[in-house]
């Protein structure tokens, strides 16, 4: 009996030790599970933080790229301005005589004057092989009437988009942009347009939209051409038009001191000065830097002129006809001397309402965008080659 008791006791002790071992192992397993759970939680948090850090880094790199591009554009603009100042200084140096205290060879002065005169007489170098001229006006289309008696409307003359732009009046700072001619036509007034605020007010109606830039005229004591980037909403360049004593370019549009035009050759400026106030002058303008490349005095009178435009390097000046409600092209000037007034055909505009306040030629469509007493009109032009006259 005693032996059985001892065996029973030993069995109980073994069972107790076994249970204690199991309890210990269970506690260890629970502790390990808790640590594994904590590790998973920490790993998940670290992964989330790494993703956020990556997103922040990508965003900062994108911003740096944008700032780099903005800085590059600013540096390019500064470089262009510096080049222009250097050219103007070079020009002034050729115009100013020698100082009294400096002994300069008379022959050298004569050579400098001769170089300047030869440069002014240099034949215009064409940028394209365009040789078209107007034969007649095929038709006119009145789209609608919006705004005041005077204003300007046009497409981007580069032809990169079908958007339409309205600059109502002879002064203001708001450009109305329509996505298409169709939207402009069916819009109640300017309801379907988006507004673009310019940083300063324009003067007159001599503005153009070209290659996603608005080139507009700002006039105070001096006449300034401003180049405004519609994408970045910033002024990328501006230049004082280098002519003193301006007078209105058209006798019937006294608000317009300078009229910009675009044709197959690029950007032009139509203007008039006190020194030659009876006639209209023409200048070729660099659309990138706004530098004046060449100037011409034409034989086209300012009196009774209501507008003008340029096609293939030929200036067409429009005058009020003696017939009521009619206008006609009465004077042409070709910078390449291929067309004269005697050669050019007599071109009449169809009956209109009042007087054209702006005429903008679109070389992509061969259309004239005209503003006539608040009516927006399209004129379809028929062309022929200059050599056929």
Last residue of a domain, which of 95, 118, 142?
95
Domain check: are 245 and 367 in the same one? yes
Across the range 286-293, mean pLDDT stands at 94
25-59 tens-digit pLDDT: 878 888 888 888 888 888 888 888 888 888 888 88
Q: Distance between CA 266 and CA 244 in Å, rounded?
A: 24
Distances from the Cα of 67 to the Cαs of 61, 74, 233, 306, in angstroms? 10, 10, 16, 46
Domain check: are 165 and 28 in the same one? no
Q: Distance between CA 167 and CA 234 in Å, rounded?
A: 18
Distances from the Cα of 219 to the Cαs of 8, 16, 33, 210, 216, in angstroms? 118, 106, 81, 21, 10
Distances from the Cα of 220 to the Cαs of 237, 281, 381, in angstroms? 17, 21, 36
pLDDT at 1: 65
Domain check: are 214 and 329 in the same one? yes
Cα-atom radius of gyration of the chain, to the nearest Å? 38
Q: Distance between CA 238 and CA 72 in Å, rounded?
A: 18
Residue 260 has pLDDT above 60, yes or no: yes
Domain check: are 142 and 260 in the same one? yes
Q: Distance between CA 382 and CA 74 in Å, rounded?
A: 43
Q: Which domain holds residue 43?
A: 1-95
Distances from the Cα of 149 to the Cαs of 171, 253, 324, 349, in angstroms? 13, 12, 18, 18
364-378 tens-digit pLDDT: 999 999 999 999 999
pLDDT at 116: 38
Most confident of 1-5, 71-75, 92-96: 71-75
Domain check: are 1 and 88 in the same one? yes
Confidence of residue 108 (pLDDT cuts 50, 70, 90): very low
Q: How far apart are the first and last CA of the chain?
A: 145
Domain check: are 60 and 199 in the same one? no
pLDDT at 130: 86
Reference 344, options 311, 309, 316, 320; nearest CA is 316
- The set of residues, in sequence order, having a beta carbon less than 8 Å from that of 343 and lying 6+ positions away, is 389
Q: What is the SS3 assignment for 48?
A: helix
pLDDT at 13: 67
Task: Please give the tally of structural domains in the chain.
Answer: 2
Whether 289 maps to a domain, the answer reads yes
54-63, 264-273, 292-301: least confidently modelled range: 54-63
Whether 109 maps to a domain, the answer reads no
Domain check: are 66 and 143 in the same one? no
Q: What is the SS3 assignment for 126?
A: coil
96-105, 205-214, 290-299, 372-381: least confidently modelled range: 96-105
Distances from the Cα of 334 to the Cαs of 131, 275, 296, 344, 385, in angstroms? 11, 22, 10, 10, 13
CATH code of residue 219 = 2.120.10
The residues facing 335 across adjacent strands are none
Q: How many residues would you count in the chain?
A: 389
pLDDT at 210: 94
Most confident of 91-100, 184-193, 338-347: 184-193
């Amino acid at each position: 009996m005693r032996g059985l008791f001892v065996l029973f006791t030993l069995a109980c002790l073994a069972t107790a030790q076994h249970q204690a071992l199991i309890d210990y192992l269970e506690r260890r397993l629970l502790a390990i599970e808790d640590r594994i759970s904590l590790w998973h939680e920490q790993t998940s948090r670290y992964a989330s933080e790494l993703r956020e850090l990556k997103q922040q880094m990508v965003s900062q790199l994108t911003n740096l790229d944008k700032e780099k591009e903005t800085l590059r554009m600013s540096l390019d603009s500064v470089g262009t301005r510096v080049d222009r100042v250097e050219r103007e200084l070079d020009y002034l140096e050729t115009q100013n005589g020698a100082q009294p205290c400096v002994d300069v060879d008379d022959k050298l002065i004569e050579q400098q004057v001769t170089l300047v005169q030869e440069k002014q007489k240099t034949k215009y170098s064409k940028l394209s092989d365009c040789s078209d001229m107007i034969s007649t006006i095929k038709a006119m289309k009145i789209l609608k009437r919006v705004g005041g008696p005077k204003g300007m409307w046009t497409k981007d003359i580069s032809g990169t988009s079908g958007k339409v732009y309205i600059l109502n009046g002879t002064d203001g700072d708001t450009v109305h942009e329509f996505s298409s001619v169709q939207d402009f036509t069916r819009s109640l007034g300017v309801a379907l347009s988006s507004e673009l605020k310019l940083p300063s007010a324009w003067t007159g109606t001599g503005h153009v939209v070209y290659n996603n830039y608005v080139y507009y005229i700002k006039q105070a004591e001096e006449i300034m051409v401003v180049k405004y980037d519609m994408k970045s909403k910033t002024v990328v360049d501006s230049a004082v038009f280098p002519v003193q004593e301006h007078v209105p370019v058209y006798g019937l549009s006294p608000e317009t001191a300078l009229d910009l035009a675009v044709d197959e050759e690029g950007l032009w400026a139509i203007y008039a000065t006190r020194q030659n106030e009876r006639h209209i002058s023409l200048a070729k303008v660099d659309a990138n830097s706004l530098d004046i490349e060449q100037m011409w005095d034409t034989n086209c009178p300012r009196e009774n002129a209501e507008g003008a435009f340029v096609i293939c390097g030929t200036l067409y000046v429009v005058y009020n006809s003696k017939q009521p409600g009619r206008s006609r092209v009465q004077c042409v000037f070709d910078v390449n001397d291929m067309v004269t007034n005697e050669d050019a055909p007599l071109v009449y505009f169809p009956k209109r309402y009042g007087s054209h306040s702006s005429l903008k030629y679109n070389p992509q469509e061969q259309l004239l965008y005209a503003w006539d007493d608040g009516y927006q009109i399209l004129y379809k032009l028929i062309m022929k080659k200059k050599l056929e006259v």
